[in-house]
Amino acid sequence: MERATYSVSFYIKRTKKLKDGTCPIYAKITVSGQKVEFGLQRSASTQEWKKYKRNEGVNSKFFRQLDSYLDFVKMKLRDIRIDLEEKGIEVTAKALKNAYMGVNKNSKTILQVFQEHNDRCKSLIGIDFAPGTYERYATCYLHVERFMNFMYHKKDMKLSELSPKFVKDFEFYLKTERKCAHNSATKYLKNFKKITRLAMTNGWLKEDPFRGIRFHLEKVDMAFLTQEELDRLIQKKMPVGRLELVKDVYVFCCFTGLAFIDVKNLSYSDIQEKNQQLWIHKKRQKTKNWFDVPILPPARQLMEKYKDHPKCQAKNLVFPVLTNQKMNAYLKEIAAICQIDKNLSTHTARHTFATTVTLTNQISIEVVAKMLGHSSINMTKKYARVVDELISKDMQKAYEKYKMLYVA
């Protein structure tokens, strides 16, 4: 069988001058008389190109950079040709061009791979993934989809189009158009990075678009309620039923330390009686760690309030909890009504329990860690605040000891 003839040449397309007056540089592949051409994302003025073709100015920066780049293109096309031959694939001009540009009829798209991942994630809820994990990936999928439409006016893109610039532009989009805080944007980027790593592992993506990109989370001092603010919240009557429900669930979490998903799924089968006192004995949805929390009187009163609620009776739930999104939205209204100048969310209740309800009342951090379902005390330290009242209580002992020793 006669071997196909093969050649690569370069030229500038004078009919497509760019705004800066330069002309785009094109590559032309010829295989057995068949020709294809494609742009190289490089340009040169007519004069520069003439000098290059005549080998003039070989010591100039422009000449060296261009010569090096065109040599790289030739080498890459040669390697592709050899690879196709070794695989027994017919070498055509079009096949070389498509392989060089990463075009493949069977190549996967960004959203296609993302959706496949999310579908698997959804089917493993309760096995390998928590519902909240799936929701984060589903939300990230929507952000990526909207970003591509906003930035590139495309409904989807090929994996080969991913690059570090795509990632940086996506981060900028999250922080500006979507108004995401730094940590929220970083978490979405980490979610997206898992998708690109999956694509690379399966050989669908050759280069890592996250190369050279490092993540860092900013330290956030999460809000919590002081005892005075917690009392004010408890005593305030809400004007409408939805706000009253959200307030009650939030206060319950302040006295038990439950995370949103744990209070949402809290059933009476999770309640045990020990020494004539009710306890919550449950496994955390997030970490799968068991925790035990005694139910304090304010929390027990709130349980009684919703015992006859239709939803609670139908599903054996302790509270008819709304979605996390609605809870957080309504908590903003509640904070305004109670004149609490803090950004309340369902998670701030957990911080309030760790700080105001337990540590301020001199409950040991080891006990608090157990009640929160933490694997180590280091996790609990992120929640714990050494507030002024706690410092005052501890230092009062030293004050009493030393106040009589140094009397003038």
Domains delineated in the chain: 6-100 (no CATH), 110-201 (1.10.150), 227-394 (1.10.443.10)
Q: Which residues are CB-neighbours of 238 under 8 A, at least 6 positions away?
A: 244, 247, 334, 337
Mean pLDDT of the chain: 88
List, for residues 7-46, the tens digit of each pLDDT value. 999 999 999 888 889 999 999 999 998 999 999 889 999 9
Model confidence at 404, pLDDT cuts 50, 70, 90, reads: low
Least confident of 164-173, 344-353, 360-369, 380-389: 380-389
DSSP state of 203: T
Any idea how long the chain is?
408
Task: Convert the pLDDT of each residue in 203-218 to its tens digit.
Answer: 888 889 999 888 888 8
Is the per-residue pLDDT at 229 higher than 90? yes
Single out the residue of 288, 272, 255 nearest to residue 355, CA to CA: 255
Lowest mean pLDDT among 143-147, 187-191, 204-208: 204-208
Radius of gyration for the alpha carbons in the chain, expressed in angstroms and rounded: 32
State the DSSP H helix or E strand holding residue 291, giving kind and residue range, or none if neither. Answer: strand 290-294
Q: What percent of the chain is predicted at pLDDT more than 90? A: 59
Residue 169 is predicted with a pLDDT of 95
pLDDT reading at 179 higher than 60: yes
Tokens of 180: 């995401």
For the segment 321-343, the average pLDDT, to the nearest whole number, is 94
In sequence order, the 6+-apart residues with CB closer than 8 A to the CB of 83 are 99
Cβ-based neighbours of 259, under 8 Å, separated by 6 or more:
253, 284, 285, 286, 346, 347, 350
